[in-house]
Amino acid sequence: MSTAISDMETAYTDAAGRSGPDFLNLDSGNLNSTTPDLTAGLYKWASAVTITDSVTFNGGGDSNAIWVLQVDNRLSLANSANIFLSGGAQAHNIFWQTAEGATLGTNSHFEGILITATDIEAQTGATMNAKLYAHTAITLDANAITAVPEPGSLALLTGAIAALFVGARRRLTVCS
C-alpha cells in the first residue's frame, strides 16, 4: 500500500508540475453550457473551478485525445451538473489534478481520472465514469461509480501513473 500511495503522490506531482498550458483560467473557472467544448490540451486555473450546469469534452474525432486539467483550488460540480464526452473523447484520457479537493454535487455526473491533494466528496446520487484518488478521504453517499479502463497513453504522466491505477487511497469513507 505504501508503494501505491507513493506512486499516487508522484503522479499528482507530475500532473501539477506540467507547464505551458494551452488554456489559462478559461472562463475564470466558471464553466457551464456556454463554455466552448474543451478540446485536448493542458488547462490551468489559478482559482477554484465550478461546473454550474454542463461542460463537454470534445475529442475532435480522436479517441486518443488527452486532457490535463490543473486546478489550484477546489473543483466543484453543482447539483445536477454534467460532464459530457463527444467526438471520441474518453474518460480515461481526462486527468483532473486539484490542490484543494473536489465536491461532486447531488445528482451530478463526473467523467475522468481525479487526483486530489485533499478530499473528494460525492454527494447523494452523484454518478461517475471515473477513477478517484485522494490524499486524505473519499466520501460517497449513494453513488454509482463505473471504473474507467486503463489510459490509452501512459506517455501522458510518467511511468508512475501506471502504478497509480492499481488503486491507492489512504481512507475511503462510504455513507449509506
**Does pTM surpass 0.95?**
no
- Along the 176 residues of the chain, how does pLDDT read in single tens digits? 677 778 778 878 888 888 999 999 999 999 999 999 999 999 999 999 999 999 999 999 999 999 999 999 999 999 999 999 999 999 999 999 999 999 999 999 999 999 999 999 999 999 999 999 998 999 999 999 998 876 544 444 443 333 333 333 333 334 43
- Sorted by where each begins, the domain ranges of the chain are 2-175
d(CA 43, CA 71): 8
162 grid coordinates: 501506471
Q: Are 4 and 164 in contact (CB under 8 A)?
A: yes
| Helix, strand, coil % in the chain, rounded to nearest 5 | 15, 40, 45
d(CA 115, CA 98): 7
d(CA 12, CA 164): 10
